[in-house]
Structure 1
Amino acid sequence: MPANHFDIKGLTDAQVLASREKNGQNVLDYKKENSFLDALKSIAKEPMVILLLVASSVYFISGDVGDGFFLASAVVLVATISLYQDSRSRNALEKLKDFTQPKCKVIRNGEVVEIKSEDLVLGDSLMVEEGTSISADGEIIHSNDFSVNESILTGESLSVEKDQSKDDHFIYQGTAVAGGLAIATVTAIGNQTKLGAIGKSLEGIKEEKTPLEVQISDFVKKMVIAGAIVFLIVWAINYAQSLSVLDSLIKALTLAMSILPEEIPVAFTTFMALGAWRLMKMGIIVKQMKTVETLGSATIICVDKTGTITENKMSLAKLYLLSNQKITDAENINSDEEKDLIRLAMWASEPIPFDAMEVALHEVYQKTTSSDQRQAFKMIHEYPLSGKPPMMTHIFENEAKERIIATKGAAEALINVCNLNEVEKKQIEKAIQLLSSEGYRVLGIGETHFEGTQFPSKQQEFKFNFKGLIAFYDPPKKNIKKVLQDFYKAGILVKIITGDNALTTTAIAKQIGFKGYEKSLTGDELMALTDGELIQKVYDTNIFTRMFPDAKLKIINALKAKQEIVAMTGDGVNDGPALKAAHIGIAMGKKGTEIAKEAASLILMEDDLASMVDAVAMGRKIYTNLKKAIQYIISIHIPIILTVFIPLALGWLYPNIFSPIHVILLELIMGPTCSIIFENEPMEKNTMIQQPRPFTNTFFNWKELATSVVQGLMITAGTLTAYQFAVYNGLNEDSTRALVFSTLIFANVFLTLVNRSFYYSVLTTLKYKNNLVALIIGITLVFLACLLFIPPFTKFFGFQRLSLSAISISAGIGFLSVIWYELVKWKKRLSK
């Protein structure tokens, strides 16, 4: 039906520009924090930065200006790296915001167009319908059985009916359309709206940290406390021995700096933000950072049938007339009775159709009718989709007061409200079974007559005449078989939750190789289960039909009670509660309602479930790579700590083998390795054939932590061996320091290569596509060469040029202290 049926033309393009020029954009503009200053404040509070500043000050006080300037420069460098990583993360998240911009429909130049909500202007004719979130305040000028949920403003959960004749004929930004359709003239936008006026309170709300963020934050805090305790102990011991405040302070600061794993929170933020950005480039919009964490743990995905498993390209396939018991192909509609069935089905649809079936009915009506009556009749009452099973009824009237009352819905619902004898019921049920078993979506069609204007409160109170059935075919998506197999291989169970009947759903499920198509459960059967029966029954059943919001929510909660990590797809208003309850709520970008998108934590832009396989893979990859990065940080920190502490504690010949400048050098090398190389690592080939990782309260299990600790101790053994080798061969302090430092750098390089996988060999991982590995390792080795062979650097850092044989020895020790883990990986592969 044309949009100008309501005689609303809306603004012209020139009027839109004039209104925007005068009144601005439809955005809530509150006091914004200066993100750059925030980042600087955050950096200033970092324990490592504080230690660097203290150490720099000590050097300046003691007259060692060169070292003081170097550490002051290191503060600037650390701050620059942190700001760069912070800006990368923020830029990635800002780009995501552009994609999650809500949209709305307006009438402009006499046509319905979809625009970004921020492009609304005062005076626009805003069209809102069931499932949309209202984008601005406005005054209703036309409505069909319109109701709104205003709980965001009033706290009242029940929906409110509104139309242009009532005292309250206004709509408000942020509220949700519960049913029907309305057109309103926009009266307020942005901060001038009712929501905008109270929105200042939103400024003080802080985002909660994710579980993984809390775990990492706790780990870093513990290390900071440990560093502080060790710092005080070492300072006290050294002061007791030397009675020099500044010298003992430098030694204590060196150790404290070596303990702090400040790269870990930077790595976490970078991985999560860039992970969300990578997902966005794949057409998957992540609205919350915690979703990136949870993706790799998903154990069950609950999917809708229509539009998720099927194409959502509803084409009318068959008609059944009760009067003659005849099933006809939609291409062969000839008789008046068949045309009349189509006519009634169209009148039972929305005047401006947005559902695929209703669009198809309008198109078939237009092709089969000799006289299009849509312009002549006006909807005077609407009963929205309701009941179990659901149905909907529309009442139209023309100027001559001729009335059409048409209904359509689940065939079982119509059987219950029609005047039918037992024979007719059996005939209809036989036709339903025949059509459904072939995979058709079946709807019943009926009509009734009613005089007067005091319509019943419920559509079920009418007594309808059953006219017939219409059957739609929505073919399965071409890639759905492969998508299901990918989920099954990844250890993820798939369950279908649909409003359709069991026969149709089972027929489609069988076609696509769906596991567990033999058993199904209806919404009413589910609600009748006791709490004791519910959890196991839901877990054992894979097809749920004739579902409604309460039943969907019960399924999600039952699976969660079974300790499953649940993802759920949805697109309608009724899916909102279940999407919100699921660990990962997935809305469809194209056919999803704004309410569904708002409730979901993830949006598939192309409505393609295959994207969800990619999302799970990306979630697993991000988590695995983050774990590799943090294991690397732990492994490489241990030798730094012990190489500083052991010579000092045991009174070896050169107790101050490393000073703060050497520790910060190592930190600057390690930072890019963990947050650049590992973040860019490709997914390992066995990632999607493993079972989902358990969603536990701990980031590492003891075995993984033990691996990192043992790797760190082996590197420590290597660096201390290099130390003793140098002393044994009579090398002076500078040469010993250069040999030990070089050994640590080589061990760092080999550890990076070995830890790219904790399962596959280094020969396999060398073939992985990650150009940054060669770049970062190349820069590291050039950096080491500069320190060893350029005299000003060598002298400043207290090194001495090493011979090629000494460099070979340090490289060999570094290699041996790491490469042993390849035997462990080899044993793992053998056992598999």
Structure 2
Amino acid sequence: METAFDPEHITGLSDEEAAGILEKEGYNELLSQKKQSLFSILLNVLKEPMLLLLLVAGLIYLFLGEVKDALILLMFVFVVVGITFNQERKTERALEALKSLSSPRALVIRGGKQKRISGREVVKGDILILREGDRIPADGIVLFCTNLLVDESLLTGESLAVRKSDSGGLTQSLQPGQPGGDDLPFVYSGTLVIQGQGVAQVSATGMHTEMGKIGKALGKIVEEDSLLKKETTQIVKNFAIVGGLLCVFVVVVYGLTRGDWLHGLLAGLSLSMALLPEEFSVVLLVFLSMGAWRMSRRNVLVRRMPAIEALGSSTVLCVDKTGTLTLNKMILSSIYSGNEYCEIDKEECLLEKFNELLEFSYLASQQDPFDPLEKEIKKSTEKFLPEYRGIHHEWKLLREYPLSKNLLALSNVWVSNDRRKHVVATKGAPEAIFELCHLNEAEKEELMSQVQKMADKGLRLLGVAKASFQDDSLPDKQHDFEFEFIGLLGFVDPIRPTVAQSVKECYTAGIRVIMITGDYPGTAQHIARQIGLKDPEKYITGPELSKMSEGELAEKIKTTNIFARVVPEQKLIIVNALKLNGEIVAMTGDGVNDAPALKSAHIGIAMGERGTDVARESSAIVLLNDDFLSIVAAVRLGRRIFDNLKKAINYIFSVHIPIAGLAVFPILFNLPLILLPAHIAFLELIIDPACSTVFEAEPEEKNIMNRPPRNLQERIFGVKSLTLSLVQGISMLAGVIAIYLYALYTGKGEVEARTLTFATLVVANLTLIAANLSWSQSMFKTLKSENKALRYVLVGALSGLFLVLYVPALRSLFRFSLLHVDDLLIVFVVGTLSITWLRLLKTQINNNL
């Protein structure tokens, strides 16, 4: 006789066995998910326009017979390649770490314990626990299932979900067939659990799955370029056009006025190198990738990069109560039965009259629960009624009636020991239980009064009822049983300790917080008062929401921060109403039905611990610890990233003005050339790590959460930013040209003038970096900040300048002269003053930014 499969007796693979299989067969991923090779990264680096310009200039020097100049440019090529390659590898490692975090997760049994792992770590022979909303990570054979429906449309094209059956304990002799069709004991990688639950043993992973055989590259999202990417691409194009035209102009003017076309071409290439803002694309990639990596360290996984720029613009955070504002650790605190109410920790709750309530709540739950509420029911029942575990262990679960949209209650039908009748235990929302019990109006009114009292204490309530049934043929609907009401269970979910402060921080930052919950208004208001939510006396319930027009809701939602008794589908209505009011909406969700709202919100935030895979796939961000504090931390980081990105782009634009000016000025006025390709390459060694590392690592401004949200349509390089950059760049250019003219008119030669001018430009560049890192604190404090990358760049740049000035071989290669103490004094005074005078305008500039 075939026996039912018991998941409690499964031990699964041990961690050692799984590690051995993983080493032998590899990760559970498709070939398209391979990381970028070192060679491909190097190839991409060598395609950089700046390197190509350096190589062309080097070839011209070789043609002219100036081998030393060619060699120094070749040296710079290697150095720039090394820096860029290292940054690419750093970014690649960050993305690889994020990719590992974002792969579909799996709940497996290893060593007899349930364990959540990355989907790519699932191996053949693993025992998978499948729940509603999960994306199945590998092909497998179903060992046990209850009401298991799976959407296999990804493989079959059929829109209807298929019903699964178990294998009856036969796993070795079964060969997985083709996807599609009801009552097959097979599940397939990439398919989605629509309803029910089950346990399956993995039969194939990676390229050996049905998905792998087809060769589909799942999970690879081709995203539209973000606003930032489009804007920076346009800026680079504009610079390239202007640079190309000026390059041609310089070559022609130089050739006609001086009769030396090859040196004119070198001058043109120098100008192109000076104007080429190739840092923009690198900076954008580095900032967003490293920003996503930094967020992952705060338990926030960014699945879509544009979400980072949107985070700083959020005006409304719509958050679930359970698990986000609270700990999601349900504690049974109160019970009501037979017209008596008491606290669970008091002695009278152990009286026999409450035993039936606990017993039937236990029978209405899963045998091996995952849901926190059911875990607490099992824990409490086994604590207070230890004898019932032994009695019910022999009972057989005959059928489950799952929760549905129309009836928020579920029932378990048991075959008792005497086998003469079926025992039915049900639990669910109190209203649903009252409906199942067919209570009259007077009884309903009395019980609803008790429900309201308990809900006002912030309790989450469950009603419990029982029934018996004699026939062997069970009805199709729960309504066909004759239920008898037993009582109410009251659970408390403690508030997370950090929530109140985080909500306060949101309000300071100009961000509204809206709480959405399926609980009663009284419970929601109790929580709202605890966390400091504004206007806790105002709320809208789900039934009220369903009767409102779009316009009416859009008006009421302006002053309402609590939505109670809301079903997941109504979240989309709330999001759309907020968007109608021009809000930038961040929305949290965890269930299958939350997916439309998560996708519609500007920033969809899925729960990482309790969220379903379909919710995570519809979201832009995943909270790995489901904590509201992590959302606020993400907003803070999003603002910091945008701030620093804006500073970096301002710096890039400013620093290219004096470099380009020094390339053009001598040609226009028939003066000796100042900057040669080698000099510009040296400056790039400062500019590249400064804009991609120093600015990215800069800590946030102190007032970052004391300002209103940024307009999402605000350009990162608008008129105000352009004006500031122009002022800084022209100020630097004026300072270095003043030094250049001073050197020429005091009788210094071409080499001495070039040396003084170049050294001044380097010092002014370093001052510009320090000045742009923060406009809210003094430069002295900026230099003392915790930004180690700044110190490395400053020390490295000054050390490099010292070497090319005072090491004879390098001084000769760069065509420099020896600078004396009085020269150095002039260099540092003019170099720093060309930027620091702008600090006097700090207050006015702050008000305009």
Q: How far 1:110 sits from its partner (Å)? A: 5.4
Q: How far 1:362 sits from its partner (Å)? A: 1.1
- Give the distance between the partners of 2:128 and 2:776, measured in 1 at CA: 57
Q: 1:410 aligns with which of 399, 419, 429?
A: 429
- Give the distance between the partners of 1:761 and 1:107, measured in 2 at CA: 57
Q: 2:194 aligns with which of 163, 174, 178?
A: 178
Q: Which residue of 2 aligns with 1:754?
A: 771
Residue 287 (structure 1) aligned with residue 306 (structure 2): no
- Aligned with 1:549: secondary structure? coil
Residue 218 (structure 1) aligned with residue 234 (structure 2): yes
Q: 2:340 aligns with which of 311, 326, 333?
A: 326
Residue 437 (structure 1) aligned with residue 456 (structure 2): yes
Q: Which residue of 2 aligns with 1:50?
A: 52
- Matches for 1:284-683 after TM superposition, within 5 Å: 284-321=300-337, 324-331=338-345, 332-369=348-385, 370-372=387-389, 373-387=391-405, 390-398=408-416, 400=419, 402-452=421-471, 455-460=474-479, 462-651=481-670, 653-654=671-672, 656-683=673-700
- Return 708-717 or 269-278, whichever deviates more: 269-278
Q: Which residue of 2 aligns with 1:772?
A: 789
Sort the Cα spacing of 1:227 and 1:376 in 2 relative to 1 into closer, same or farther, 3 A: same
**8 Å Cα contact 2:7/2:199 also seen in 1:** no
- Give the distance between the partners of 1:73 and 1:428, measured in 2 at CA: 84
Q: How far 1:272 sits from its partner (Å)? A: 2.0
What amino acid maps onto 1:141 in structure 2? L
- Return 482-491 or 112-121, whichever deviates more: 112-121
Q: How far 1:94 sits from its partner (Å)? A: 1.6
- Return 150-159 or 435-444, whichever deviates more: 150-159
- Give the distance between the partners of 2:630 and 2:115, measured in 1 at CA: 28
How much identity, in percent, do the aligned residues show? 39
**8 Å Cα contact 1:67/1:661 also seen in 2:** yes
Q: 2:754 aligns with which of 727, 734, 737?
A: 737
Q: 2:28 aligns with which of 26, 33, 41?
A: 26
Q: 1:698 aligns with which of 711, 715, 720?
A: 715
What amino acid maps onto 1:164 in structure 2? D
Q: Where do 5+ consecutive residues of structure 1 fail to align?
A: none
Q: How far 1:798 sits from its partner (Å)? A: 2.0
Q: How far 1:415 sits from its partner (Å)? A: 2.4
- Give the distance between the partners of 1:20 and 1:53, measured in 2 at CA: 46
Q: 1:36 aligns with which of 22, 35, 38?
A: 38
What amino acid maps onto 1:246 in structure 2? L
- Aligned with 1:679: secondary structure? helix
Q: How far 1:97 sits from its partner (Å)? A: 2.9
- Aligned with 2:705: secondary structure? helix
- Matches for 1:221-236 after TM superposition, within 5 Å: 221-236=237-252
**8 Å Cα contact 2:32/2:217 also seen in 1:** no
- Return 509-518 or 557-566, whichever deviates more: 557-566
Q: Which residue of 2 aligns with 1:785?
A: 802
Taking structure 1 as the reference length, the TM-score comes to 0.93
- Return 480-489 or 696-705, whichever deviates more: 696-705
- Return 593-602 or 608-617, whichever deviates more: 593-602
- Aligned with 1:133: secondary structure? coil
Q: Which residue of 1 aligns with 2:149?
A: 147
- Matches for 1:187-202 after TM superposition, within 5 Å: 187-201=203-217
Q: How far 1:395 sits from its partner (Å)? A: 1.9
Residue 261 (structure 1) aligned with residue 280 (structure 2): no
Q: How far 1:326 sits from its partner (Å)? A: 1.6
- Return 108-117 or 137-146, whichever deviates more: 108-117
- Give the distance between the partners of 1:205 and 1:544, measured in 2 at CA: 33
Residue 86 (structure 1) aligned with residue 88 (structure 2): yes
- Give the distance between the partners of 1:249 and 1:19, measured in 2 at CA: 61
Q: How far 1:629 sits from its partner (Å)? A: 1.4
- Give the distance between the partners of 1:18 and 1:83, measured in 2 at CA: 34
Sort the Cα spacing of 1:125 and 1:665 in 2 relative to 1 into closer, same or farther, 3 A: closer
- Aligned with 1:131: secondary structure? coil
- Return 405-414 or 638-647, whichever deviates more: 405-414
- Aligned with 1:180: secondary structure? strand
Q: 2:706 aligns with which of 689, 696, 712?
A: 689
What amino acid maps onto 1:147 in structure 2? L
- Give the distance between the partners of 1:22 and 1:235, measured in 2 at CA: 62
**8 Å Cα contact 1:345/1:445 also seen in 2:** yes
Residue 713 (structure 1) aligned with residue 730 (structure 2): yes
Q: How far 1:176 sits from its partner (Å)? A: 2.1
Sort the Cα spacing of 1:451 and 1:175 in 2 relative to 1 into closer, same or farther, 3 A: farther
What amino acid maps onto 1:394 in structure 2? N
User: Alignment length, in residue pairs?
Assistant: 826
**8 Å Cα contact 2:319/2:516 also seen in 1:** yes
Q: CA RMSD in A?
A: 2.7
Q: How far 1:285 sits from its partner (Å)? A: 2.6
- Return 568-577 or 622-631, whichever deviates more: 568-577
Taking structure 2 as the reference length, the TM-score comes to 0.91
- Give the distance between the partners of 1:830 and 1:585, measured in 2 at CA: 32
- The C-alpha deviation readout for 1:591-634, integer Å capped at 9, x for no partner, is 33444344333333333222222222222112211211111111
- Return 335-344 or 582-591, whichever deviates more: 582-591
**8 Å Cα contact 1:137/1:172 also seen in 2:** yes
**8 Å Cα contact 2:30/2:217 also seen in 1:** no
- Give the distance between the partners of 1:21 and 1:646, measured in 2 at CA: 63
**8 Å Cα contact 2:101/2:118 also seen in 1:** no
Sort the Cα spacing of 1:241 and 1:452 in 2 relative to 1 into closer, same or farther, 3 A: farther
- Give the distance between the partners of 1:248 and 1:41, measured in 2 at CA: 30
Q: Which residue of 2 aligns with 1:96?
A: 98
**8 Å Cα contact 2:295/2:634 also seen in 1:** yes
- Give the distance between the partners of 2:12 and 2:847, measured in 1 at CA: 72
Sort the Cα spacing of 1:53 and 1:229 in 2 relative to 1 into closer, same or farther, 3 A: same
- Give the distance between the partners of 2:625 and 2:535, measured in 1 at CA: 27
- Give the distance between the partners of 2:11 and 2:436, measured in 1 at CA: 41
- Aligned with 2:740: secondary structure? helix
- Give the distance between the partners of 1:153 and 1:28, measured in 2 at CA: 15
- Give the distance between the partners of 1:590 and 1:363, measured in 2 at CA: 21
Q: Which residue of 1 aligns with 2:811?
A: 794
- Aligned with 2:388: secondary structure? coil
- Matches for 1:85-124 after TM superposition, within 5 Å: 85-107=87-109, 112-124=114-126
- The C-alpha deviation readout for 1:362-390, integer Å capped at 9, x for no partner, is 12222333332332223222222223572
What amino acid maps onto 2:577 in structure 1? A
- Give the distance between the partners of 1:775 and 1:17, measured in 2 at CA: 41
- Give the distance between the partners of 1:279 and 1:20, measured in 2 at CA: 29
**8 Å Cα contact 2:141/2:186 also seen in 1:** yes
- Aligned with 1:526: secondary structure? helix
- The C-alpha deviation readout for 1:680-706, integer Å capped at 9, x for no partner, is 211121111111211126222211221
- Give the distance between the partners of 1:211 and 1:826, measured in 2 at CA: 29
